[in-house]
Amino acid sequence: MKNDQFKWAVGIENTFVTQIAKGERALDEYELTQHYDNWEADLNLARESGASMIRYGIPWYKVEQNPDEFNWDWTDQVMGYFKRHPSLTPIIDLVHYGTPHWLTNEFANGHYPKMVARFAKAFAERYGEFIKYYTPLNEPYVTAEFSGLNSVWPPYLEGLAGFYQIMTQVSKGIILTQQAIKSVVTDAVFIHVDATKRYVTHEERLNSEVVLWNENRFVMWELVQGCINSEHPLYDFMITYGVTPETLEWFLSHPVEPDIVGLNYYPQFSVHSISRDSKGHIVFPHVMGTGKDFKEIAAEAFKRYKKPVMITETSFRGSEEERISWLNSILEACKELNEEGIPIVGLTWFPFFDLVDWGYRTSGKSVEDELLPFGLYSLESKDGKLNRKKNRVADAFEDLIRYHNEGGER
């Protein structure tokens, strides 16, 4: 991998799902991990790691607490930091799962695409002079799963009809967001980020399901780039579950392209083995993924879209030894892909420090009990504060960056 092409990045977990119902608690990772108070120290640590990019989210629900009224006070401070420290380039997550509270029905609201584009344009008008990298919406697939398929997050839809309703809504939002930013920041770079999936099976009778779901994993990219016409393998399936021909025609008429395809890959969560349960229902349990699985996903994405690929999230929930082992494995996969002519232009360790499990919304447990060991920095609670403690994974990450910057192959 050429030194001037491969970017080392980190990311701070920035899930914002703050509407509550049914005994839930707000899930604002910046609040729970005390990043709002420690943002400058956290960004200093990120710079000190040697990373040259950082994925960074904007809490839309705080910025726009009333429609078309924007409070940039906190965001101004953070964006000012990036302006002062251009060695750390932000990739801005404009939406990371949540919406403002005034937007009834959240992603299912018919006005959502225009509302998110308005927010994106306001951000670009304020910071676009020096903020050039944008992700319009993080992980449409997971958003559609949690908000539309499994009824876990607002607006609590269920089933494949709910999945596709949310998916088409957020995909429209991605298109309008990209157009809005481009109208202001003509040299903006768009990284379309989604959770990666790979489906396998040990049952020959389920091979057709594997084909279907391995197609569906690319549904956001297919929609926003205007690929789903009447001949597309997902067309009839989506129509069956409530997507109208007129909706798909809209996407055909309003395509946008990413500059970079962003793949989020977690070996513990990205690979599924399709089988049937005791009642005959198809189920998709996780199985442990490998670097080889990531290579298949990345190769297929590049074959389809002919765009550079960036690993926009990866890490491993486990011991420091397990995380270091995974870091080495995914870097080896990157090296092999580049040697095979598939341009992998960067790797993001995500999250930079430990996160609070999303189950916090309903578990009733304390933040300390819900901390998950993913990060380069561990979070340790003392006297009500979550202290950032550098661990051996960070040392390994920094060593690899130094080796790479000094001309090494990795």
DSSP per-residue string spanning 306-375:
---EEEEEE--SS-HHHHHHHHHHHHHHHHHHHHTT--EEEEEES-SB-EE-TTHHHH---TGGGEES-S
Helices 159-182/112-127 angle, 10° precision: 30
Over residues 106-143, the pLDDT tens digits come to 999 999 999 999 999 999 999 999 999 999 999 999 99
Fold topology of 7-405: TIM Barrel (3.20.20)
d(CA 163, CA 146): 9
Q: Is there a contact between 100 and 122 (Cβ–Cβ < 8 Å)?
A: no
The structure tokens listed for 404 are 């790479």
d(CA 73, CA 65): 13
- Quick one: CA dihedral 254, 260, 261, 266, positive or negative? negative
Of 190, 56, 192, 185, nearest to 122 by C-alpha is 185
> No. of H helices and E strands in the chain?
15, 19
Over residues 148-160, the pLDDT tens digits come to 999 999 999 999 9
pLDDT at 35: 98
pLDDT at 56: 98
Compute how many other C-beta atoms are within 10 angstroms of the C-beta atom of residue 95. Answer: 26
pLDDT at 409: 59
Residue count of the chain, please give it.
410
Task: Report which residue type is found at 105.
Answer: N
pLDDT at 5: 80
Cα angle value 314/271/344 (rounded, 5°): 45
Burial 257-267 (b: 16+ CB within 10 A, else e): ebebbbbbbbb
Of 265, 271, 267, nearest to 309 by C-alpha is 265
What is this structure's pTM? Answer: 0.96
Widest distance between CA atoms in the chain:
61
Q: Which residues contact 179 (CB under 8 A, 6 or more apart)?
A: 117, 256
pLDDT at 281: 78
* DSSP string over 67-114: TTB---HHHHHHHHHHHH-TTSEEEEES-SS---TTSTTGGGSTTHHH
Per-position pLDDT tens, the chain of length 410: 455 689 999 999 999 999 998 789 999 999 999 999 999 999 999 999 999 999 999 999 999 999 999 999 999 999 999 999 999 999 999 999 999 999 999 999 999 999 999 999 999 999 999 999 999 999 999 999 999 999 999 999 999 999 999 999 999 999 999 999 999 999 999 999 999 999 999 988 899 999 999 999 999 999 999 999 999 999 999 999 999 999 999 999 999 999 999 999 999 999 999 988 877 777 888 999 999 999 999 999 999 999 999 999 999 999 999 999 999 999 999 999 999 999 999 999 999 999 999 999 999 999 999 999 999 999 999 999 999 999 999 999 999 999 988 877 55
d(CA 175, CA 169): 10
The structure tokens listed for 353 are 């420090």
d(CA 139, CA 220): 9
Please report, in angstroms and rounded to a whole number, the separation of the first and last CA atoms in the chain.
Answer: 7
